[in-house]
Amino acid sequence: MRSIPKPDLEHARALAAGAGLPAIELMDERTLLALMLKRASLPTNPHRLAGDLLDRFGALAAVVAADASELARTPGLDVAAVADLKLLRQVCVHLIRSDVGARPSISSWTALLAYVRGALAHEPREQFRVLYLDKRNILMREEHRADGTVDHAPVYVREVVRRALELSASAMILVHNHPSGDPTPSRADIEMTRRVIEAARVFDIQVHDHVVVGREGEQSFRALGLI
């Protein structure tokens, strides 16, 4: 485990007590990332390394969402620092996910969109996830149903519906990302969604929506009139 130098430890204690929080809230992405890297005790200048990462990946969210193997190829970034960045990503995702799980997903749509943006918008490969809901539209389970390449994730309709039956779910929300950044549904997305809806209808399971997420925003099938 990496030791923390005494001055940094004192600073951390001050932050934990609430001191210095306004200054942190005003920091830009590069400064925040540099501060994290400085605490990793890397030999490379943290501000320069933060700039290199942001130039390469485009944004702080994209940095922490990048594959560990891609991050590890960044000169000056060691394995422990990569692990810290991936840990930060998971903490952020779990924090915003807690708002979705606590309230009906339909009535807390803003929280749901914030969660799927945080979880998927900067993923480098396409993922297909399903949010399984109970009869009150409370989130029961979120599951990865497919991982893919930069532009395709194979979805097996039978498995999506079978899992809903196993969980006794009453409804589903489908979610996937477009690594290209453009959230516009493709013809394949529309056809796959139609097949899931038809299969779920046999068992009286509703598909409330299919949300496509990209760096440029998100698109709701229901809002587009596709459901």
Tens of pLDDT, residue by residue, the chain (227 residues): 444 444 455 555 555 555 555 566 667 778 888 877 777 667 778 888 888 888 887 777 777 777 777 788 888 788 888 888 777 777 766 666 565 555 555 556 777 787 787 778 778 888 899 999 999 888 888 888 777 544 455 778 999 999 999 999 999 999 999 988 899 999 999 999 999 999 999 999 999 999 999 888 889 999 999 98
Write out the two tokens for 65.
């969402």
By the 8 A CB rule, do 192 and 158 touch? Answer: no
The pTM (predicted TM-score) of the whole model is 0.60
Place of tokens 């399984």: 132
Q: How does DSSP assign 82-147, residue by residue?
A: HHHHHHHHHHHHHHHHHHHHHS-TTTTHHHHHHHHHHHHTT-SS-EEEEEEE-TT--EEEEEEEEE
Domain 105-220 annotated CATH 3.40.50.720? no
| Domain extent listing, the chain | 6-92, 105-220
Q: Any idea what the Cα angle at residue 51 is, between residues 50 and 56, rounded to 5°?
A: 100
